């Protein structure tokens, strides 16, 4: 297949693996003293395991799995608030499928649906708009979730609802941004990170410059990467080359997709509809300043938090995570999923305890899908 198969070419992959090994030896990376490279995006985590790159790569390179899975970093309190909205008799609650099974403190959206709540899976916020048009007597709420990749489509649906005067449509906004949690990780004295693989899809929207502070202020290289095996290997090589040359900059391996300055239409829609929240709660990272978006005053009629007096609109919140769940430590790369005491025991894809085991981009799901089940059994 054009645009995919050439990036899965085994000969090219072998050449890159050899070049990585050479560069790793040059900088003295070993199994005991590895170079820690965080892949921020959960999509990259899955590619690494799907293609066995963690096994094939030089032993001196250790992949640290980052917080770039929006479903995984959603705190349980927000799932509880989704359920609370969805259980109102007047509400049709619409959501992407991968959020359905994420556990809340009492139940997931799927369990709420089984108990009678009107919860419908959609493929786009435009589907939710159509449901609102067809059900003028009901309140239709869309679960807006994700990083800068999905933020524009939710913004466009809110703009469209405003144009049509569709006042029975609203968004429970959980859109978050990538650069702020990376700053929080870099400010954590316990984190040892030598470089970053930057997210490909998010960068399509925001471009590469929002990461400049990582190189300028923290002296760490970041390479925005594609999702095929040779994309990832080439990006690792680019990170190692920067380390070997004693420099740190933001580079773009995924230039075939990621424009340097992002997508102006998407950025304009984001700027029109959202503003920064003072802070937003992340699973495993706690409250992070300016890391979440809320709907601007001009579109407040479409803000489900305001409409139902829920979430941040209801005042300060402090909701603990489930005991014995190591999602936060996995989320921040402190431990591997298989080191969680619940992995394969109290937490499996069939009976998940944490979102990382449910989401298609979750690190625990990746370990399980590509060999972790065997590790757990052993």
The span from the CA of 190 to the CA of 294, in Å, is 31
Out of 274, 342, 359, 361, the only residue in the binding site for ligand SF4 (CB under 6 A) is 342
The span from the CA of 238 to the CA of 219, in Å, is 15
Number of residues that bind ligand SF4 (CB under 6 A): 14
Nearer to ligand SF4, 145 or 326 (CB): 326
Distance of CA 231 to the CA centre of its chain: 19
The span from the CA of 72 to the CA of 284, in Å, is 10
285 near ligand SF4 (CB under 6 A): no
* Pairing mode, strands 274-276 and 293-295: antiparallel
Binding span for ligand SF4 by CB under 6 A among 92-100, 149-157, 245-253, 353-361: 353-361
Q: Is 216 helix (H, G, I), strand (E, B) or coil?
A: helix
327 near ligand SF4 (CB under 6 A): yes
Nearer to ligand SF4, 232 or 365 (CB): 365
State the nearest-atom distance from the C-beta of 330 to ligand SF4, in Å: 4
Out of 29, 110, 225, 347, the only residue in the binding site for ligand SF4 (CB under 6 A) is 347
258 near ligand SF4 (CB under 6 A): no
DSSP 264-287: HHHHHHHHHHEEE-SEEEETTTEE
The span from the CA of 37 to the CA of 65, in Å, is 9
310 near ligand SF4 (CB under 6 A): no
Cβ atoms 193, 38 nearer than 8 A: yes
State the nearest-atom distance from the C-beta of 342 to ligand SF4, in Å: 4
Encoded one letter per residue, x for contact with ligand SF4 by CB under 6 A and - for no contact, window 97-116 reads: --------------------
Please, what is the end-to-end C-alpha distance for the chain in angstroms? 38
359 near ligand SF4 (CB under 6 A): no
206 near ligand SF4 (CB under 6 A): no
The span from the CA of 92 to the CA of 206, in Å, is 32
Give backbone dihedrals phi and psi of 242, rounded to 5 degrees, phi first.
-60, -45
State the nearest-atom distance from the C-beta of 281 to ligand SF4, in Å: 17
353 near ligand SF4 (CB under 6 A): yes
340 near ligand SF4 (CB under 6 A): yes
State the nearest-atom distance from the C-beta of 180 to ligand SF4, in Å: 22
Residue labelled with tokens 């959206």: 109
The span from the CA of 116 to the CA of 93, in Å, is 12
354 near ligand SF4 (CB under 6 A): yes
Residues at the interface with ligand SF4 (CB under 6 A): 325-327, 330, 337, 340, 342-343, 347, 353-354, 356-357, 364
């Amino acid at each position: 297949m054009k645009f995919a198969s050439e990036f899965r070419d085994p000969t090219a992959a072998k050449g890159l693996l050899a070049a990585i090994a050479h560069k790793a030896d040059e900088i003295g990376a070993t199994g005991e003293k590895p170079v820690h490279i965080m892949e921020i995006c959960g999509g990259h985590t899955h590619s690494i395991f799907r293609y066995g790159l963690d096994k094939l790569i030089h032993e001196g390179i250790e992949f640290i799995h980052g917080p770039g899975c929006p479903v995984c970093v959603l705190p349980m309190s927000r799932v509880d608030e989704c359920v609370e909205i969805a259980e109102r008799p007047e509400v049709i609650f619409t959501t992407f499928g991968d959020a359905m099974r994420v556990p809340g403190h009492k139940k997931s959206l799927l369990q709420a649906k089984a108990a009678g709540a009107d919860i419908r899976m959609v493929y786009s916020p435009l589907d939710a708009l159509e449901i609102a048009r067809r059900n003028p007597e009901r309140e239709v709420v869309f679960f807006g979730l994700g990083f800068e990749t999905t933020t524009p489509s939710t913004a466009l649906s809110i703009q469209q609802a405003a144009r049509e005067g569709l006042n029975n449509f609203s968004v429970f906004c959980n859109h978050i941004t990538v650069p702020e949690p990376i700053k929080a990780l870099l400010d954590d004295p316990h984190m040892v990170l030598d470089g970053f693989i930057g997210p490909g899809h998010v960068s399509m929207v925001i471009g590469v410059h929002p990461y400049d502070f990582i190189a300028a202020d923290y002296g760490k290289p970041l390479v925005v990467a594609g999702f095929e095996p040779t994309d990832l290997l080439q990006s690792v090589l680019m990170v190692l080359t920067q380390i070997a040359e004693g420099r740190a900059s933001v580079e773009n391996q995924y230039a075939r997709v990621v424009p340097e300055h992002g997508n102006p239409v998407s950025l304009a829609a984001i700027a029109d509809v959202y503003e920064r929240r003072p802070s937003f709660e992340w699973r495993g990272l706690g409250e992070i300043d300016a890391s979440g978006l809320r709907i601007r005053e001009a579109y407040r009629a479409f803000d489900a938090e305001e409409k139902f007096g829920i979430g941040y609109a209801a005042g300060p919140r402090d909701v603990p995570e489930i005991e014995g769940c190591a999602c936060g430590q996995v989320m921040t790369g402190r431990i591997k999923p298989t080191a969680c005491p619940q992995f394969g025991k109290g937490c499996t894809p069939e009976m998940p305890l944490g979102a990382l085991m449910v989401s298609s981009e979750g690190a625990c799901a990746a370990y399980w899908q590509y060999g972790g089940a065997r590790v757990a059994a052993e």
